[in-house]
Amino acid sequence: MYEIIKTVINEWDPVSLLESNPEVYEPQIAVIFKFIEKCNNCAAKKLAGELDKVFSKDYEGVYVSNPDACAKAAQRILEMLIARWNKPKN
């Protein structure tokens, strides 16, 4: 699950810092990971709100809130997680 979150967050690169530091979002990814672990029936809207909250708090003055980007990232995370969980086991 962690790698899925990391992939999506890094593809999004919400503060455009990934190029200068490949590990820049590790603290935020860890917070989002814990949020998803605790979230029952986590809807994309709820996850998008958490993404916005985490990046707004940690990158105040640098991060520009973008509800559409948060919604897309949240939807992608959830879709990838669902695909992984529904993957047939051999």
pLDDT tens-digit profile of 16-64?
998 989 999 999 999 999 999 998 788 999 999 999 999 999 999 999 9
3-class DSSP state of 25: coil
Domains of the chain: 2-85 (1.10.340)
Measured CA distances, 46 to 11, 32, 52, 62, 74 (Å): 20, 11, 10, 23, 9
Contact of 29 with 6, CB cutoff 8 Å: yes
Residue 77 has a CB neighbour count (10 Å cut-off) of 24
Record the pTM: 0.89
User: Token pair of 51, please?
Assistant: 């993404």
pLDDT, average across residues 77-87:
88
Whether the pLDDT of residue 81 is over 80: the answer is yes
Task: Say which amino acid occupies 90.
Answer: N
